[in-house]
Amino acid sequence: MTHLRTGSIGATPWRDRLLHHKWALLAILLCQMGQVTASLLLPSFSADIIDIGIGGQDASAIRYYGGLMGVAAAAQLALSGTAAFLGATVAYRIGQSLREDVFAKVHGLALSQVQGFTVGSLITRCTNDVLQVQSMLIMALTMIVVAPIMGVGSAVMAVRQDAQLSWLLLVSVPVLAGLIGFLTIKAVPLYQRMQTQLDRVNSILREQIEGIRVIRAFLQQPREAGRFAKANADLTGTAIHAGRLMAMIMPSLTAVMQLTSVALIWAGASRVRDGDLEIGALIAFLSYVALILIGVMMMGLMIVMLPRALVSARRITELLQSPVEVGPPSDPKPLPPRGSGLHLRLEEVGFGYPGAEAMVIENITFDVGPGETLGIIGATGSGKSTIVNLIARLNDPGTGRVTLGGVDLRDAAPDEFASHIGYVPQKAYLFSGTVADSLRLGNAGADEATLWNALEVAQAADFVRAMPDGLMSPVAQGGTNFSGGQRQRLAIARALVCDADLYLFDDSFSALDQATDRKLRAALRQAVGHAATVIVSQRVASIRDADRILVIEKGQMVGLGPHETLMQTCPVYAETVHSQARPEEDAA
């Protein structure tokens, strides 16, 4: 329930993310310009060595141009190295900040928003999509400046070496550009399809790993294997198709380059024989043509990468810019100080999940004062958890309001609010670490006596004491090395360690046997008698002693009052009590 800095996140546009690194980007730009210039000079120097040095038998010219080539090559190496280093740093930093923002954003989302995106997609966005953007950035920072300068610069240099041969370029460059363009246009939709197919593989894999026990128990391996194989084959098919197209780029480039070279040598040789052209100039011309074609290919590669990265960037932006439905208020109102007792009040609260037409709960009104206990009872799916989630501010109500000490939850500072409540979710989830770590989640400074005290109340002390390492025993991710009932009791102890003013127990006693349930409730009354308590249950025994009981049916309040009154006035409640009345429960 920690709310990270959720306010302005997502507002950071891509432009600002780049501007944040403006000096590094400027340095990269200058380095790249320098290194392309150096590589453009190299063929011209070698032409001079051949034509002036060797042709003119001038040893000092060879030394001079050789020296220049050495300097240019060293500069090219140093500058391109620096640019690559800076480029990678900038790209990885931007990737890191994106992951940070996605992470913080997810923590600020309402529960219903998380379910709307789906957990699988949120993970893909934080990992694979950021990776795509990051790779695109590295590529762009290496090629975006280099490709055009190299293409145009080489063309200029080539024309300078020999204007007459240049007509060949007018043929080969358009042919190559056309070829790459054709292949790219074919490949782009394939890459876009690949991204959604990858999503599908991820989500199937995720579902199957999470449901592995169900799959085994119901002997669904063949069906599930088939489902995965189909998604995998779809992805592979598209990838092979796209890969084949892209694989044709290199051979086409080589073919065009070789043909151009043959044509150049054929046309150039006769001009050399006639003395119109120096051999060195012809060789330099050939080198420039190769550089031009490489420049064209780089642009082609970028055009291919771009749509993939754009799809990913859009998915990240969509997440970062989704409105924070349970965001912190701009001007928070203070809650009463801790320990002074809190009054919880729901006023005509209604809520519907996004996308669903009907409201799940409607017109819920009740209050719970300090020292009071409210029970909520109703069938599965009647809306009990929905109510508790609104009180825990995992969602905000669609209509009406929830107030704590007279302050609307939407006006309270999230951290202050969180420190007031002890919440035990319906699905007890423990974080990995030791038992002590798990218990200290909401109160890092709690001493061992506090922990044991909470364990005693939660009826968890016995089994923790029985473990060889006691409080230092390991807890697996999610708490999977404990039984359902043990996990519930540890989650209850964890909430008790917070020493809150309001406790919410969402069906938290469901995995406990009757006797433990009874002992736990008696201990709770002793330990947290001062707090306001909401207990959700489907079992009458768990809530019949509450000060007031809210009976809920299909999202509507059908009764509110103490057990005796409801037995008289609320047929739904009386029916539930009768249907559950068995000899052992009457004793409760």
Ligand X SMILES: Nc1ncnc2c1ncn2[C@@H]1O[C@H](COP(=O)(O)OP(=O)(O)O)[C@@H](O)[C@H]1O
Q: 230 near 147, Cβ under 8 Å?
A: no
**Residue 405 found at the interface with ligand X (CB under 6 A):** no
Q: 549 near 562, Cβ under 8 Å?
A: yes
**Residue 386 found at the interface with ligand X (CB under 6 A):** yes
Question: Which one of 173-181, 200-208, 296-304, 380-388 is the stretch in contact with ligand X (CB under 6 A)?
Answer: 380-388
Query: Whose Cβ is closer to ligand X: residue 73's or residue 558's?
Result: 558
Residue 346 to residues 20, 363, 420, 488: CA-CA distances in angstroms? Answer: 45, 9, 17, 27
Q: How far is the CB of 119 from ligand X (least distance, A)?
A: 12
Q: Which does 383 bind (CB under 5 to 8 A by kind): ligand X, Mg ion, none?
A: ligand X
End-to-end CA distance of the chain: 34
Query: Whose Cβ is closer to Mg ion: residue 238's or residue 385's?
Result: 385
**Residue 353 found at the interface with ligand X (CB under 6 A):** yes
Q: 575 near 557, Cβ under 8 Å?
A: no
Which one of residues 385, 438, 459, 488 is an interface residue with ligand X (CB under 6 A)?
385
Query: Whose Cβ is closer to Mg ion: residue 98's or residue 387's?
Result: 387
Q: Which does 312 bind (CB under 5 to 8 A by kind): ligand X, Mg ion, none?
A: none
Interface mask toward ligand X for 106-145; x: CB under 6 A? ------x--x------------------------------
Torsion of CA 39, 44, 49, 52, to 10 degrees: -160
Which one of residues 312, 382, 438, 443 is an interface residue with ligand X (CB under 6 A)?
382
Q: 2 near 415, Cβ under 8 Å?
A: yes
Q: Which residues of 441-475 are buried (b: 16+ CB within 10 A; e: fewer)?
A: bbbeebeeebbbbbbbbbbbbebbeeeeeebebeb
Which one of residues 383, 405, 414, 422 is an interface residue with ligand X (CB under 6 A)?
383
List, in order, residues 6 or more apart from 445 with CB less than 8 Å away: none
Query: Whose Cβ is closer to ligand X: residue 382's or residue 486's?
Result: 382
Question: Which one of 50-58, 195-203, 342-350, 352-360 is the stretch in contact with ligand X (CB under 6 A)?
Answer: 352-360
d(CA 138, CA 118): 30
Q: Which two tokens stand for residue 295?
A: 């420049």
The residues of the shown chain that bind Mg ion, judged by CB under 5 A, are 384-385, 426
**Residue 358 found at the interface with ligand X (CB under 6 A):** no
Q: How many residues bind ligand X (CB under 6 A)?
A: 13
**Residue 542 found at the interface with ligand X (CB under 6 A):** no
Query: Whose Cβ is closer to ligand X: residue 385's or residue 459's?
Result: 385
Q: How far is the CB of 381 from ligand X (least distance, A)?
A: 4
**Residue 260 found at the interface with ligand X (CB under 6 A):** no
Q: How far is the CB of 424 from Mg ion (least distance, A)?
A: 12
Which one of residues 330, 380, 526, 579 is an interface residue with ligand X (CB under 6 A)?
380
Q: Which two tokens stand for residue 560?
A: 């509110």
Q: How far is the CB of 536 from Mg ion (least distance, A)?
A: 7
Largest CA distance in the chain: 119
Q: Which does 382 bind (CB under 5 to 8 A by kind): ligand X, Mg ion, none?
A: ligand X
List, in order, residues 6 or more apart from 100 with CB less than 8 Å away: none
Query: Whose Cβ is closer to Mg ion: residue 504's or residue 531's?
Result: 504
Query: Whose Cβ is closer to Mg ion: residue 29's or residue 511's?
Result: 511
With 0-12 CB in 10 A as exposed, 13-18 as middle and 19+ as buried, what is 259? middle
Nearest residue by C-beta to Mg ion? 385
d(CA 359, CA 265): 79
Which one of residues 10, 153, 375, 378 is an interface residue with ligand X (CB under 6 A)?
378
540: left (phi over 0), alpha (psi -120 to 50) or beta: alpha
**Residue 381 found at the interface with ligand X (CB under 6 A):** yes
Q: How far is the CB of 380 from ligand X (least distance, A)?
A: 4
- DSSP classification of residue 430: B
Q: How far is the CB of 362 from ligand X (least distance, A)?
A: 12
Name the H helices within 427-558: 435-439, 448-457, 461-466, 484-497, 514-527, 540-543
Q: How far is the CB of 538 from Mg ion (least distance, A)?
A: 9
Q: How far is the CB of 324 from ligand X (least distance, A)?
A: 18
Question: Could you say which residues in the range 408-467 bind ligand X, by CB under 6 A?
Answer: none
- DSSP classification of residue 52: I
Cα of 235 vs its chain's centroid, Å? 22
